[in-house]
């Protein structure tokens, strides 16, 4: 049996003669447990927020998005499109032409983002489940209908019952504006009627209007050009693998983004916030470990006679040093295990019952999202080990000094 660990267990499980020392030891265990529980819950909330954002993006973003690395609008050849469709795992290729424009209706104006799509967009059933009113329909350039975000629909005072007065869309001719050739043709205008109301998320709802691709080509005067090609994959397809095949096929002139890369800044911000929260909580845990430091220091003073007896029995300085390091680990890890159990239990309860609500009316979710990650438990345990080891070094060295230096 490991002698150092045996001595640490004896000190850990035996009651101290001084009740004050026992109280400090219990406070050390409780403080570590509370910090570990809080850290597990906070990290799980960040995981839940990240998972929620990714699930939200999945409702309206494609699996892959092809864009030109140099031009704002471009066009793929029929051969390139056929080669793309032939790649295993690709189910739909949706050409997209989009830009900002101005809506005018009923003496109201609003800057929105028009997104022109063709029949493949509807064939892929994209956003079909997000239609809260109206029909999942777009029409064509001559008989144009549009699916409108609920924020735009309500903000502009649109109505399905108004079949006489269409919605006006205005778009500037950028080439004429660059030449300062101002005329009646500088601003192009087209009309449409709303066919459906979409409810996805706030930014999307407040600025998106989905229109027929041919209608958008006429508004922007860019026939055949596309802002992007959006790829919808099979459920079993690997987006990273398909991205590699597309990159090899199209070359360096095109940028292919996965769904996560389309929102890289937001997801990176969530990860950075999670990292800083972990570091801050680890720092707080380090402050809480001062109780462990005092507990071990007082225990060393109380056990001076016992330590001398161990010296007489032949214990070595290294073994005694490890004994108090082990004792610090036992005190902290007992609290950490309780904290992990409580953190897991509370996180599970939040997942199942949504105990803590967001308190935001009309939110997409009612309660704080929670998702537990096994690596969070691993990193938390590792932080406890490191902090405990640092906090136990001085009392352990003091025990060796009192035992072997004082005769």
Please, what are the averages of pLDDT over each run of 10 residues along the chain (407 residues)? 68 59 73 89 90 83 92 91 94 95 92 94 93 91 89 93 90 63 68 94 91 93 93 92 94 92 88 90 81 74 71 75 79 86 93 80 73 92 85 77 63
What's the rounded Cα separation, in Å, for the pair 12 and 125? 63
Quickly tell me which residue has 């006429």 as its tokens. Answer: 218
Model pLDDT, residue 369:
87
Quickly tell me which residue has 């007065």 as its tokens. Answer: 165
Model pLDDT, residue 375:
93
Model pLDDT, residue 128:
93
Model pLDDT, residue 55:
80
Name 192's bridge partners. 167
What's the rounded Cα separation, in Å, for the pair 230 and 212? 15
CA 125 to mean position of chain CA atoms: 26
User: Closest Cα partner for 255 from 243, 240, 239, 241?
Assistant: 243
Report residue 126 as tokens. Answer: 């994209």
């Amino acid at each position: 049996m490991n002698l150092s660990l045996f001595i640490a267990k004896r000190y850990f499980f035996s009651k101290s003669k001084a009740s004050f020392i026992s109280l400090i030891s219990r406070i050390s265990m409780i403080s570590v447990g509370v910090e570990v529980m809080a850290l597990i819950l906070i990290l799980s909330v960040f995981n839940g927020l990240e998972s929620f954002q990714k699930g939200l993006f999945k409702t309206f973003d494609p699996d892959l998005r092809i864009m030109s690395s140099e031009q704002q609008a471009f066009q793929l050849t029929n051969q390139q499109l056929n080669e793309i469709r032939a790649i295993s795992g690709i189910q739909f290729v949706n050409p997209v032409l989009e830009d900002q424009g101005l809506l005018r209706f009923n003496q109201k104006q609003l800057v929105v983002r028009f997104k022109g799509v063709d029949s493949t967009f509807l064939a892929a059933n994209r956003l079909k489940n997000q239609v809260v009113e109206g029909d999942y329909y777009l029409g064509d350039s001559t008989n144009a209908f549009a699916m409108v975000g609920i924020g735009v629909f309500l903000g502009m005072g649109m109505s399905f019952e108004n079949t006489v007065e269409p919605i006006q869309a205005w778009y500037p001719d950028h080439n004429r504006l660059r030449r300062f050739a101002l005329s009646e043709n500088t601003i192009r205008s087209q009309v449409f009627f709303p066919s459906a109301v979409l409810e996805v998320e706030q930014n999307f709802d407040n600025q998106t209007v989905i229109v027929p691709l041919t209608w958008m080509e006429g508004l922007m005067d860019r026939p055949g050009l596309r802002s992007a090609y959006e790829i919808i994959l099979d459920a079993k397809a690997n987006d990273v693998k398909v991205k590699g095949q597309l990159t090899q096929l199209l070359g360096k002139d095109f940028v292919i983004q996965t769904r996560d890369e389309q929102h890289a800044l937001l997801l990176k911000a969530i990860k950075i916030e999670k990292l800083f929260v972990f570091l801050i909580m680890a720092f707080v845990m380090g402050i809480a470990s001062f109780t462990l430091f005092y507990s071990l220091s007082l225990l060393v003073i109380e056990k001076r006679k016992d330590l001398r007896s161990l010296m007489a029995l032949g214990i070595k300085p290294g073994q005694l040093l490890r004994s108090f390091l082990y004792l610090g680990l036992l005190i902290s890890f007992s609290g950490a295990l309780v904290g992990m159990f409580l953190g897991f239990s509370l996180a599970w309860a939040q997942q199942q019952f949504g105990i803590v609500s967001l308190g935001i009316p009309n939110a997409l979710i009612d309660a704080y999202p929670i998702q537990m990650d096994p690596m969070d438990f691993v990193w938390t345990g590792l932080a406890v080990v490191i902090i405990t080891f640092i906090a136990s070094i001085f009392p352990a060295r003091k025990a060796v000094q009192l035992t072997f230096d004082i005769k």
